[in-house]
Amino acid sequence: MAIITISRQPYSFGDEIAQEIAKKLNYKLIDKFIINNKVKDFHCNFSDELHDLANEKEPGFFKHFFKNPEVYNCLVQAILFEEASHDNIVIKGRGGQYILNQPYVLKIRIMAPFNVRCSYLEKKERVNHSLAEKLLAKKDHEREYFIRYLFKKDISKTNSYDLIFTGQISCFDHYKLGADLIISTILDYAKKIEKTQPLTENNKDNLKRLSLEKRVEATIKKEISSEHVDLNIGCEKLGDIKINGFVADEIERNKIFKLAQLCHGVNSVDNQLSVT
């Protein structure tokens, strides 16, 4: 039926809304747990990166793991492109609104005032008001910084979304009353997108090829410094990878070729890299 991305402020009831939408539609919910389970799809050991990705750690913490910070972006894109190719999914967070900025994707933003979210955090985590304010401010900062670092985007910019929901939801009972309206609105818009901009078989094939490109790129950039490497990875036919660009020497050229060959889903590699 549709692909739906849901960006949410911490403790805005966005998590609960995403879960209910997925349940209502019988869609697969893509969250940090799904991403962690995707570790096995990658040749290299990305467990540290995906752990920090799932928890949306700020860049200062996880830069330690990378020769090139673009690895993170490639990982997220590879996973979301692959999941989106199967259609009928709800993506919770992960920058889905930027990665899947396509007419066949419905992009949602769930917001609530700081004091409302703080009150919910107090009740849910059983902390006092002062600590709740500090924790929420920190979470807001980390999530905004995370998106800015990965995608160079401001998460608050309204032009990244098709629908934005905000309100004075102050307790779970009130949330339950408003959830049906939010869900029905999203359902209506999803049906419109399905009729006017359906996800075609060509779209699905393109998403799978994009996923493979990013999987190969992440694997290479995990092991190769980008200082003297200029890569362009393409996949015109699923399974067949073509690598263009420039490298410093023949050793690096051969290493990149072998890394690409070892990636899950790669059948052949056309190595067009030039040595500068």
The yes-or-no verdict on residue 47 having pLDDT over 60 is no
Report pLDDT for 107.
95
Of the candidates 121, 98, 119, 87, the one whose C-alpha atom is nearest the C-alpha of residue 15 is 121
Return the CATH fold of 3-196. Rossmann fold (3.40.50)
Domain(s) of CATH 3.40.50.300: residues in the chain: 3-196
SS3 category, 218: helix
Q: Do 104 and 221 meet the contact criterion of CB atoms below 8 Å apart?
A: no
Q: Average pLDDT of 2-24? A: 90
pLDDT at 49: 56
- Closest by CA to 108, choosing from 52, 44, 162, is 162
User: Across the strands, what pairs with 30?
Assistant: 91
Instruction: Output DSSP code: residue 68.
Output: S
Report whether pLDDT(41) > 80.
no
pLDDT tens string 105-131 = 999 999 888 988 898 899 899 999 999
Is a pLDDT exceeding 90 seen at residue 213?
yes
Contact of 51 with 76, CB cutoff 8 Å: no
Q: Which residue's entry shows tokens 């570790």?
A: 39
Residue 112: other Cβ atoms inside 10 A: 24
Q: Rounded to a whole number, what is the distance in angstroms from the first to the last CA of the chain?
A: 49
Model confidence at 184: pLDDT above 50: yes
CA gap 167, 31 in Å, rounded: 24
- Is the pLDDT reported for residue 181 higher than 50? yes
Report pLDDT for 54. 54
Q: What is the pLDDT of residue 97?
A: 94
Q: What one-letter code names the amino acid at 116?
A: V
- At 232 the pLDDT is 92
Extract the tokens encoding 65. Answer: 């793991």
Measured CA to CA in angstroms, residue 192 lies from 14, 109, 248 at distances of: 22, 18, 51
| Most confident listed range (33-47, 57-71, 84-98, 166-180) | 84-98
* pLDDT-wise least confident of 64-68, 83-87, 200-204, 212-216: 64-68
Which residue has better confidence, 257 or 156?
Answer: 257
Lowest mean pLDDT among 84-98, 132-146, 172-186: 172-186
DSSP label at residue 224: S
Q: What mean pLDDT value characterizes the chain?
A: 83
State yes or no: pLDDT of 182 exceeds 60. yes
pLDDT in tens, 165-179: 886 554 545 555 566
What sign does the dihedral 219-27-121-114 (CA atoms) show? positive
